[in-house]
Amino acid sequence: MEALTDTFVKFRTVGMDPMNGSMKALTDAVAHFGGNSDILHRASVAIQQMTGKGVISMEELRQQLGEAVPSAMQIMARSMGMTVAELVGKIETGTVQSQTAIRKMLAEMAQTFDGSGVRMMTTWNGIVQSMETRWKLFLKDIAGDTGDGTSYFNTMKQMMDELSQWMVGSEAKQFASKSATPCLSCLKA
């Protein structure tokens, strides 16, 4: 959930519309290769950095995005009607404009990997990832956020703060010293 939100924000900050299918294309591509939320995050950072620079760089394409989507370079070349060698040559001269190249690459990823995210949800990794997301949402529901300081989280935080204060006070020290001897006796018995 966090990785999807993060990807959405990264796309928006560089002027890309994540709702036009580009974000789904990236998530499907990452899922196709068994990626998780961390890998999706790295892939979205690579796209954000390339878009922000205005030109495609080998570092982001081959290393960052390529680790998440191993065929990213081949897909970009194919989407632009080039061989990989031709693409590398143009990248080295700094003439591959990132907006156009990334838009074309994501369109090609959408065709190549469509549905991979849904299929991944039937694998062990997908089920575990889904459970992690559900667990986080469940914990958020438990913690609540009523805004008035009466949520479970706020109540527990207040109780923990009070306990912490008590533990450094003289009353806690007296309790500890009185409890130590009986506790040791129980352990020795």
- Does 115 lie in the same domain as 176? no
Give the model's pLDDT for residue 15.
Answer: 64
When mean pLDDT is compared over 27-41, 67-81, 130-144, the highest value belongs to: 67-81
**pLDDT band at 78; cut points 50, 70, 90:** very high
Q: Is residue 143 part of a domain?
A: no
Give the model's pLDDT for residue 16.
Answer: 64
Is the pLDDT reported for residue 139 higher than 90? no
pLDDT one-digit tens code per residue, 107-122: 998 888 887 776 777 7
- Does 176 lie in the same domain as 85? no
Cβ 68 vs Cβ 42: under 8 Å: yes
Mean local confidence (pLDDT), 142-159:
74
Q: Write out the H or E segment, with its range, that includes residue 107.
A: helix 98-113
Radius of gyration in angstroms for the set of CA atoms belonging to the chain, rounded to a whole number: 26
Residue span of the structural domain in which 33 resides: 2-136
- Does 175 lie in the same domain as 129? no
pTM of the model: 0.60
pLDDT one-digit tens code per residue, 82-112: 999 999 999 999 999 988 998 898 899 888 8
Give the model's pLDDT for residue 84.
Answer: 93
User: Does residue 62 sit in helix, strand or coil?
Assistant: helix
Give the model's pLDDT for residue 166.
Answer: 92
Cα torsion 26, 29, 30, 33 to 10°: value is: -170
- Does 110 lie in the same domain as 180? no
Of the candidates 121, 117, 141, 139, the one whose C-alpha atom is nearest the C-alpha of residue 130 is 121
Locate 88 and state its tokens.
């590398």
Residue bearing the bigger pLDDT, 4 or 35:
35
Mean local confidence (pLDDT), 117-137:
75
CA-CA distance, 53 to 26, in Å (whole number)?
A: 19
- Does 156 lie in the same domain as 67? no
- Does 53 lie in the same domain as 102? yes
Is the pLDDT reported for residue 164 higher than 80? yes
Burial bucket for residue 7 (CB in 10 Å: 0-12, 13-18, 19+): buried
Q: Is residue 85 part of a domain?
A: yes
- Does 169 lie in the same domain as 131? no
